[in-house]
Structure 1
Amino acid sequence: MPPSPFRDLTNLGGRAFDRVGELTDRMLDGNLRIGVTGLRRSGKTVFTTALIDNLLHADRLPFLDVVATGRFIAARMEPQPDQAVPRFDYETQIARLTAPDPAWPNNTKVTSQARVAIRYMPGSLLKRRLRGVTRLNLDIIDYPGEWLLDLPLLDRTYAEWSRETLALSRRAPRDALAAEWLAYLSNRDPSGPAEEAVARRAAELYTNYLLACRASDQLLSLIQPGRFVEPGELIGAPVLAFCPLPEPAARAGRHTLWSMMEERFEAYKTNVVRRFFAEHFARLDRQIVLVDVLGALNAGPAALADMQTSLSATLESFHHGRSSWLDRLLGGRIDRVLFAATKADHIPSNQHGNLRRLLDGLVAERRNAIRFEGAAVETMALAALKCTETVMAEHQGRQLSCVRGIPLGRTEPTVLYPGEIPDDHRLLDRDGIRKLNFLDFRPPTLAGRHGRGLPNIRLDQALEFLVGDFLS
């Protein structure tokens, strides 16, 4: 059954009351919440670490206007405002990335938050006279990529979700991964009695299928529900004991397997997804969407299509549009969205433009919809931590732009020509993708030496778009 509207009103009132302190902060100081969103393996943790590190040091941000004009004073980390949300462990992540034998962070497992307080001088003489030295509290929120994919469930009924998910599972390359689960469902009657053992076994096999999708070298992105593979505190809870079912020929009555699964699906939406959305996403001001385009290209056409579908479905759930001052206080709409193709250092610098245009084409439909709603949108190719350098190498009498770095699993630098990236996703046929080769590289040794921020590509331009107007 759908949740009661009266319950929604009660929850809304409770949340509004709880946020009185936050609204006070927004009125006394500038306060901006940025959601670092993106699918799994898009580099959210590295981006968040690099963003914080470069703000704390601010010497690798030449295209951030407040730094370029000498108005930046200092920044420091402060306790995050949401007491129930874990603190983003910046110290551990930066220590891993800057160690003598550096290592990449583990995947994001839980929602976390960091607050960076920035002190600066306003740009205009009038603002300087009225306000003097000014402060911006920048709240950065990092989310597990799997949990983002739960948001589209809010607009689906159990029957709709079952049809879509079953159809997807029967197409290559997922069909082989789903074989055991689909075979089990073929011997079960959705109109049969609601048996807990059957529900749990079906959910277990479905979870195994999702885990296989996540582990696949096809880089499959569309994995729902996300808490099945990253359950957090919900391990063993009945709310995770459901899965899609073939729709029964006749309307299923009470106490059937179908009705049990449908009830748990709705409970998952209400108690997990709606709660997660209300506590985090409904309060964002700005959003950066990180996209591992190069990883999807490496995995092939199926991965690229899966990534495109996942991004579009996820972003439909956000509230984008121009914000008024009241929206800013209450956290009503996201008024700036940056789509960023990550790991731009894995290709030569002369191909960054093609990477940006490729991403622009992949997200064109969603980008245009967000602009129509009134939000500013930009696309960019960046690297939160630069691991390679562009070099020229001769091959068969030709000078080629290549990248040089230390690939994962090796100890010596390698010069690699990854291939030419087209600037239009419609040119990416199967044969063309096979000619591309992107390696994963180790973090650079001594990246944070001399107390400087992590080396990066266009992190300053990303910050200028996301927060530059607040630092003017």
Structure 2
Amino acid sequence: MAVTAGISRFGITSLADGVSRQVEAASDSLSAAFFEPVIRLGVTGMARAGKTVFITSLVANLLNRARMAGLTAEAEGRITTAFLQPQPDVTLPRFDYEAHLAALTGPAPHWPESTRTISELRLSFRIRPTGLLGGMAGPRILHLDIVDYPGEWLLDLGLMSQSYATWSAQVLSRMEPRPEAAAFLAAARDATGLAELDESRAQELARLYTTYLTEVRARGFSDVTPGRFLLPGDLAGSPVLTFAPLPPEERAPRRGLWREMERRFEAYKARVVKPFFTEHFARIDRQVVLVDALSAIHAGPAAVEDLGRGMEAVLQAFRPGRNAWLSQVLFGKRVEKILFAATKADHLHHSQHPRLTAVLDELLSSAIRRADFAGAKTGSMSIASLRTTVEETLRHEGRMLDCVRGRLAGGREASLFPGELPQDPSRITRGHQAGDSWLDGDYQIMNFQPATLNLRPGEGPPHIRLDRAAEFLLGDRL
């Protein structure tokens, strides 16, 4: 009887959550139709993909649109003005646009701090109507709510359909050939078959696993679940973040370490992952996923393959109906457009940009097939949210090389030849370039810094194809 009652309570809770979501969705639709429509744009990506810079430059260039010729509404003069407003959700941190812009455009420009939690910013447009009724109707207002969150959190959605045993087996299999995993794997093997929970051992396993995640992320890998292990916030040290994958045990003792790890894994899904998607993810209309494809390519075939798996996980996250609980949250609401953007295009000469986009296209098409994805319109392009280089052609050993020149860490300027991507993107996506360092040596020297800018009135920061990204994501609503 107690079990039946528990199931009933869960069912009532899910039903109540669902009804609440339906009412909220209906209210949003009514407001959009009769008052001031709102677009919620989610911005995410893996570490160092440039989320903070993307949002800062996008907002600056939408406020000052001289560099946004690829945005049709601007080219046709439909946007009369754009302005920042207080964000609607008073419980979320505000994206610190002003501080980030000052970091990028000040007298000593530098990269701002990276995304570590969720934040939000509202940008509003006053738009001149067009068509037969344009002369009779006044300007209308469109709100753009930009939601910034770490990409590691998005990949956690894949955990919701997995058991602890399945997740552990998959993670341990991928860890096996990686040298960064040696210390953790040895500790995990020593922890099998324990009949009693040893909290100090559980904490040591979680610490070693977190160290492994940190190291492989630095190498360009994106399979770094659970995402909160790298960005724990106020959950640091809590039992819900004190677990790790363990080898399977057919008859794991009820009070043993394996069972406790399983319990904490399930608690992580219920108490950490699900609330994020219920409260924030379910309300997103458009999504941009920033991809540091250059770092993955330089890291080698294994990192590229891992990037493809990450894109597949993203697409599965945006497919309502895959998980029963997610269907209850979304109630048929779908993200309308998803843009995958390869960042740092300014690290390559423009002649290489089509090849970089072709690599991303190849990865995306493969991920779509594997995810059996349908619903949202997807797109891909190569961008630079903030252009840090200029191009020049130099002669080297009798050969003309297409180079990029920019300011490196420490202030020194240098012209660099980054190499050439292959014409056939499958040579990268299928790992045929195993070990090749096409970026001409150590990629660390490609760590360009923001250049000192002298912006004229009406200009936002220089970029590459940020206007086309805005057109894909927002053009139909502007």
Q: Same fold (TM over 0.5)?
A: yes
Q: Quote the offset at 1:418 in angstroms.
A: 0.8
The CA distance in 2 between the partners of 1:298 and 1:140, in whole Å, is: 31
CA-CA distance at 1:427 after TM superposition: 1.4
Q: Assess, with a 3 A threshold, how the Cα gap between structure 1 residues 80 and 368 changes in structure 2: closer, same or farther.
A: farther
Corresponding residue for 2:36? 29
Cα distance, 1:458 vs structure 2: 0.7
* Contact map agreement 2:315 2:371 (CA 8 A) in 1: no
2: distance between equivalents of 1:370 and 1:69? 38
Q: CA deviation at 1:10?
A: 3.3
Q: TM-score, normalised by structure 1?
A: 0.90
Query: Where in structure 2 are the equivalents of 1:207-246 lying within 5 Å?
Result: 207-215=210-218, 218-246=219-247
Question: In structure 1, what is the equivalent of residue 52 of structure 2?
Answer: 45
In the aligned structure 2, how far is the partner of 1:382 from the partner of 1:433? 24
Which 10-residue stretch deviates more, 93-102 or 443-452? Answer: 443-452
- Is 1:280 the counterpart of 2:280? The answer is yes
Alpha-carbon contact 1:281-1:318 (below 8 Å) kept: no
1:140 maps onto 2:141 in alignment:
no
Alpha-carbon shift at residue 125 of structure 1 (Å): 2.8
- Alignment correspondent of 1:194: 197
Residues 161 and 462 from structure 1, CA distance in 2 versus in 1: closer, same or farther, beyond 3 angstroms?
A: same
Q: Deviations over 1:212-248 (max 9, x none)?
A: 3234xx2222111111111012112211111111111
2:296 aligned residue = 296
Residue 315 of structure 2 is matched in structure 1 by 315
Question: Is the contact between residue 66 and residue 458 of structure 2 (CA under 8 Å) also seen in structure 1?
Answer: no
Query: How many angstroms apart in 2 are the aligned matches of 1:246 and 1:95?
Result: 49
* Structure 1: gaps of 5 or more residues: 322-328
1:160, distance to aligned residue in structure 2 (A): 0.4
Deviation at 1:330, TM superposition (A): 7.8
SS at match of 1:305: helix
Which of 436, 457, 463 is the aligned partner of 1:456? 463
Q: Which residue of 65, 68, 73 maps to 1:61?
A: 68
Kept after mapping to 2: 8 A contact 1:284/1:331: no
Q: Is the 8 A contact 1:383 1:456 kept in 2?
A: yes
Does the alignment pair 1:206 with 2:209?
yes
TM-score normalised by length of structure 2: 0.89
Which stretch of structure 1 is more off in the superposition, 356-365 or 395-404? 395-404
Secondary structure at 1:109's aligned position in 2? coil
The residue aligned with 1:153 is 159
How far apart, CA to CA, are the structure 2 residues paired with 1:57 and 1:331? 36
Distance 1:393 1:114 in 2: 43
Deviation at 1:191, TM superposition (A): 5.4
Q: Distance in 2 between matches of 1:453 and 1:270?
A: 42
| Alignment match, 1:101 | 108
Structure 2 portions without partners, runs of 5+ = 322-329
Match of residue 403 from structure 1? 404
AA in 1 matched with 2:109? P
Separation of aligned partners in 2, 1:34 and 1:371: 24
Asked if structure 2 preserves the Cα contact closer than 8 Å seen for 1:80 and 1:139, the reply is: yes
What displacement does 1:435 show?
2.7
2:312 touches 2:370 (CA, 8 Å); kept in 1?
no
Q: Which residue type is aligned with residue 187 of structure 1?
A: D
Corresponding residue number in structure 2 for 1:79: 86
Larger deviation: 116-125 or 339-348? 116-125
Q: SS state of the match for residue 449, structure 2?
A: coil
1:321-400 alignment runs, 5 A limit:
332-367=333-368, 373-400=374-401
More displaced 10-residue stretch of structure 1: 154-163 or 365-374? 365-374
Q: How much has 1:200 moved relative to structure 2?
A: 2.2
Root mean square deviation, CA, Å:
2.5
Q: Does 1:178 align with 2:181?
A: yes
Q: Offset of 1:16 from its aligned partner? A: 5.1
Deviation at 1:305, TM superposition (A): 1.9
Give the distance between the partners of 1:311 and 1:370, measured in 2 at CA: 9
Amino acid at match of 1:232: G
Q: Which residue of the partner structure matches residue 327 of structure 2? A: none
Asked whether the equivalents of residues 66 and 72 of structure 1 are also in contact (C-alpha less than 8 Å), the reply is: yes
State the shift of 1:371 in Å. 9.2
- 1:7 and 1:190 map into 2 onto residues whose CA distance is 37
Q: Percent identity?
A: 44
Instruction: Specify the code of the residue in structure 2 equivalent to 1:310.
Output: G
Shift of 1:146: 2.1
TM-fit CA distance, 1:193: 1.9
Alpha-carbon deviations, 1:20-79, whole Å to 9, x = none? 875564341121111112111111111011111111111110011111011111111111
The amino acid of 2:48's aligned partner reads: R
Number of residue equivalences: 456
Question: Could you report, residue by residue, the CA deviation over 1:312-332 in whole angstroms, capped at 9, with x for unpaired residues?
Answer: 1233111379xxxxxxx9881
